[in-house]
Every structure is written in C-alpha cells, then in structure tokens.
Chain A
C-alpha cells in the first residue's frame, strides 16, 4: 500500500500491486469495463464436481482482488464478496467474472483513497440494503461505509444472515 503524505492530505493506493495482478493475469493491454460486474449479474452455484486446476486459478485471482478490496478499493467490495461465495467450487463463469473485475480495475487503475485533514468533514456513516435480492435463498444484501476526513476508512458488503423477504 503506497502512502503519499502532503501537508494535511494523505493518499493511499495500491496501483503498483494492481499492475502486478493485471500482469499476472496476462491482461496488460486488455480493454476496460465500466462496472465491476455486468448489471444484475447473479453468480449461480456450480453443480459440477470440483475442478482442481480451475479452483486454484480462481482462488489466486480472487485472493489478489480480495487484498485490493480490503486495502484501498471499496468500489469492488460487492463484486468480490459475491464471487467469493463460490471459492470452494467455482465454475468457468465465476473465473470469467473474476477477470471481468480485473477488466474494470484496468479502467480505474489510478483510484486512490484521499483523506483531507483540512476538509472539516466529520464522521459520516452510510448504510443500505436491498430486499431479498438472492433468487435462490431470498436473503438480502447489506453494506455500509464510514467516512472520516472526506475519505473512506471502513466498508463492507455482505449477505444478511436471516431472511427478511
């Protein structure tokens, strides 16, 4: 994680790490997409037996994306956690969608978290959830973020534990 500290502003980014991940995926000159996942996409559960090579490949990619997400990329939180549910038995489609996130990151590769100590912005918390968006389990998705000094410090996106549908 790179830190750029100038006066009362601090930038955090993982651009160098992201570059390595993109290289590792062999996507150096790949096109970018404007969203982390296609609109309305739902990752269906894989019913095929486990393919060890595919799983290992998927876990490598999603692991890198998870590290980025936890560090400085709240924008891919939903996409990463959504695909992570199938980490034990991913399908080829799951792997393609993990690479789809990489395509998105290529287009937004210079994003960073910016904290402005002089902004006067206090602690801001936002939360939202949908209503039973998972078509098979009818569980809802919840997320929140916390903002301080005009930059995000904490974020999450997860499936609720109880059915509210």
Chain B
C-alpha cells in the first residue's frame, strides 16, 4: 500500500451498552450527489480544487462518555496488569467513533471560521468579508477544498494541516 503499518488497536465496540457507553452513533457524511454538485460548481466557476486526507482521523475524536478498556494483550504495563485504561479519545471500533470525530472536526473548523450546512453536514463554508469563499467537502477523513482564490485556500489548508496530521493530495485525482 503506502508503507503504513496496517495493524492497529481496536476497541470491542460490541461490549458497549447503549445509554451508558454511547447515545448516538449516527455520523454525517456527504452524499454522492452533493460531491458531484460541488465539483460542477468548481468547473462552472473555474475554481481551484485541492485535497487532503487526515491520518487515522477517528483517533482524534473526543469522547463525552467515560469509557474504560482492558489493557491490550501483550502490551500491559509490567506489574500493573490488573489496571484498566481510561480512554480520552475514540478508538477504531467504538460505536461513537465516527460521530465523535465529526464533532471534533466541526469544532476545529469553526475556529477556522467554517460553518457546516444545515442540510448537508459534510459541506463546510468559509465566509469572511473581503476574501473569497472557500467550500470544504469532507467525507470522514477525506477532504476537498474549492475556492476561486488559490492563495486563500492554500493558507486555510496549511492551518488545517497544522491541526491534524494529514497527507497532502495536491490537486486531487481521487475522492471517496
């Protein structure tokens, strides 16, 4: 693939109890129609498109529930094998991992002055007086940014990549 180690730690989401360990599990994503519409908009307006992909996005999701996990087999802290781990961030496998990540993303995009649409929570608009509009199309860990102004979108992208560890896709040739 791309040299990354593919084995990773997952949580046993099946042991989570509804109401206690999680409430909502629905996580908003963009639909194909919207992605196509946004790309057409970019073609019509002759906008610049740039993409990135956020590495291990789910691990950034902040949890609003108190969740404990057994120490992974073979990686227990010596002489403290009976202790459990208290999770601060989501892990792959947790039921609410997707939603937790989206909330964290939404929060951080708000700091960058982006707002998500009410009708499509994966589309983010950047509106600031005196500069060009930027539209973010985000599907879990893949993002496209479109704007008439390359300098503006590159600056925003740099800020975004400062917050999360990302892989810069440049002018994208793949999405979803």
Interface residues, chain A, CB within 8 Å of chain B?
1-5, 7-10, 12, 70-71, 113, 115-117, 148-149, 151, 153-154
Contacts and interface: CB of A to CB of B under 8 A. Distances in A.
A2 B42 CA distance: 16
B173 A153 contact: no
A13 to B, nearest CB: 11
Contact of A149 (B33, B40, B171, B173): B40
Contacts of B49: 3, 5
Contact of A153 (B37, B42, B172, B175): B37
Interface of B: 32-33, 36-37, 39-40, 42-46, 49, 171-176
A117 B44 CA distance: 4
Given A9-B43, A115-B39, A154 B33 contact: yes
B46 A4 contact: no
A1 B40 contact: no
Contacts of A115: 39-40, 43
A8 B44 CA distance: 7
B145 to A, nearest CB: 13
A5 B36 CA distance: 13
B173 A10 contact: no
A60 B176 CA distance: 19
B174 A2 contact: yes
A41 to B, nearest CB: 27
Given A5-B172, A113-B36, A148-B37, 20 more contacts: A1-B174, A2-B173, A2-B174, A3-B39, A3-B49, A3-B172, A3-B173, A4-B173, A5-B42, A9-B43, A10-B39, A10-B43, A70-B32, A71-B32, A71-B176, A115-B40, A117-B43, A149-B40, A153-B36, A154-B37
Given A71-B32, A117-B45, A153 B40 contact: yes
Nearest to A70: B32
5 contacts: A3-B49, A4-B173, A71-B32, A149-B43, A149-B44
A151 B43 CA distance: 11
B32 A116 contact: no
Contacts of B33: 153-154
A2 B3 CA distance: 22
A12 B43 CA distance: 12
A115 B42 CA distance: 10
A20 B36 CA distance: 23
Contacts of A153: 33, 36-37, 40
Contacts of B176: 1, 71
Contact of B39 (A7, A12, A71): A12
Contacts of A2: 173-174
B40 to A, nearest CB: 5
